Amino acid sequence: MAAGLPPDVTVPAVFVFGDSIVDPGNNNQLKTISKCNFPPYGRDFAGGKATGRFSNGKVPSDMLAEIFGVKELLPAYLDPNLQIQDLLTGVSFASGAAGYDPKTSKITRVLSLSDQLDLYNQSIARIKAEVGDEKAASILSQSIYIVCLGSNDITKTFFGPFSRHDNISSYTDLMVNWSSSFIQELYGFGARRIGVISIPPLGCVPALRTLRGGFKRNCFDDANNAAILFNSKLSSLANSLKSQLSGSKIVYLDVYNTFLPLIQNSSQYGFEVSTQGCCGTGNLEVSFLCNSFSVFMTCKDDEKYVFWDSFHPTEKAYKIIMDQIFKDKMNNFF
């Protein structure tokens, strides 16, 4: 990864909260349909193994651990093989299909944000038992915390078929309030270096092009505008909390404007296809719809594709996005 830590800085651990973008396999342990621990997922991962990561290979939680010089892969907290040494250098609590809105997670029976915080609290107790209170406090205050949520709130809860919301302005206010509460709770548990990831250009993911983009499968502008609105509020929140919470570094990470050029000018980044995913037809397949039956129609060379399935980017696209974001933002954490 391109980004480097400032001199004389070490990061003991990375802890991640969020949805499928940063879930390395927590959902494998849940009774939910939001899973991907089967082929063709993970075909470019070490050993060609489907680990529960929603991509063909590594996902951003892994890349974050690498960017901050901690380790190559960030494990799922619920992984039954997790060792205490893994926990001391960080894990992901993220759960595919989760959102800031508790209803978003409830619909698909995945870990809500409060569930993820409970697991983090549990992990603090395990870390303290292993290294003592003083060392634990030092690890927690110097670690990096990343929060990556919001896409499912917009696509499923607000624009979904059973939505009870009709005002995107008030709904994004609610989302920001949930985000604010969560960041302050994390701070209360000792977190100081916190990154909040924006929502991507959702209206341009293949599934929304198919479902809401008309005959020509254009980007669904309403979803993009909702993302822009939420992101502006999230950015303001990050600045406001940074000044309120003493000693904190709260960093807004703009995925929207980093990702959009890959979709609009894909050939400049070495891609050939940006309107369809690699898996199956590339129009709707995601999670349980992208499965072993899709293998025969799945693209041969996913390096040419921005999207792996109809919602999630390929490892190559993720790497480009993460590199660009942290080239500019790395020093803001220290």
- Would you name the residues annotated as active-site residues? 20, 309, 312
Residue 260 region by backbone torsions, left for phi larger than 0, else alpha for psi between -120 and 50, else beta: alpha
The alpha carbon torsion through 183, 187, 193, 196 (nearest 10 deg) reads 0
Specify whether the CB–CB gap between 89 and 12 falls below 8 A: yes
Helices (H), the chain: 60-67, 84-88, 102-108, 113-131, 133-142, 151-152, 168-188, 206-212, 221-244, 256-264, 315-329
Inter-residue contact 26 to 116 (CB < 8 Å): no
Q: Which residues of 281-299 are buried (b: 16+ CB within 10 A; e: fewer)?
A: ebebbbbebbbeebeeebb
Please tell me whether residue 9 adopts helix, strand or coil conformation.
Answer: coil
- Cα–Cα distances (Å) from 56 to 18, 59, 89, 126, 263, in that order, read 19, 9, 25, 32, 18
- Three-state DSSP at 253 gives strand
Distance CA 332, CA 236 (A): 16
Exposure of 107 by Cβ count < 10 A (0-12 exposed, 13-18 middle, 19+ buried)?
middle
